[in-house]
Amino acid sequence: MRKLLLQVQVSADGYMAGPNGELDWLAYPWTDDLNEYVNALTANVDGIVLGRRLAEGFIPAWAAGPPGEDKESIDWMNRTPKTVISRTLKESPWENATVAGGDLAETISELKARPGGDLVVYGGGTLVASLAGADLIDEYHLLVNPTAIGGGMPVFPGRRELRLVSARPFGCGITGMHYEPAK
């Protein structure tokens, strides 16, 4: 069965975004060691899961080829099929993306049961909190930035027991923390 991986950048105090969605605290540019880590993480991924609000910016940004991103990453992001979780959209306005609504646990279970590689969820915040709250994430890959922001959008909706698989610091100051849910 496929796994659902969460890859998200977080502040040192555990937030995905500031109180008003700010992302000005993210560490850039990424160093080659972090790019290699992310490439290895996504090597077996053949599906991306996004919340609707994130998809509205994420999909068009990657389609336009964000400045500073390498062609290989841009091509991977654009060719990898996306599932957009939404209660409001009925069909996808984007190429290579489908919309899924209804019961979140059923939707994720159906995606995991399909043949293929793993799935990665990049966000947004409401979706990540719902997935974490329903114990639907198999692996947490938190890219911890060296900045505490004091408040905002948390990764976890409440207490979660996790098991550390690995921790790796990168040259740009980010630390990759790989966790699995404690069984």
Query: Beta partners for 39?
Result: none
Per-residue pLDDT tens over the stretch 14-61:
999 999 989 999 988 899 999 999 999 999 999 999 999 999 999 999
Does pLDDT of 183 surpass 80? no
pLDDT bracket for residue 64 (50, 70, 90): very high
SS3 category, 1:
coil
Distance, in Å, from the CA atom of 181 to the CA atom of 144, rounded to the nearest integer, reads 18
In DSSP notation, 83-99 reads EEE-SS-SS-SSTTEEE
Instruction: Calculate what percentage of the chain has a pLDDT beyond 90.
Output: 87
Residues 6+ away with beta carbon under 8 Å from 126 = 51, 53
Distance, in Å, from the CA atom of 142 to the CA atom of 145, rounded to the nearest integer, reads 9
Q: What is the pLDDT of residue 80?
A: 97
In DSSP notation, 98-166 reads EEE-S-HHHHHHHHHHSSSSEEEEEE-HHHHHHHHHTT--SEEEEEE-S---SSSEES-SS---EEEEE
Write down all domains in the chain, each with its CATH number in brackets: 4-181 (3.40.430.10)
Q: What value does the mean pLDDT take over residues 69-82?
A: 93
Check if the beta carbon of residue 147 is closer than 8 Å to that of residue 5: no
Question: What pTM was estimated for this model as a whole?
Answer: 0.94
SS3 category, 21:
coil
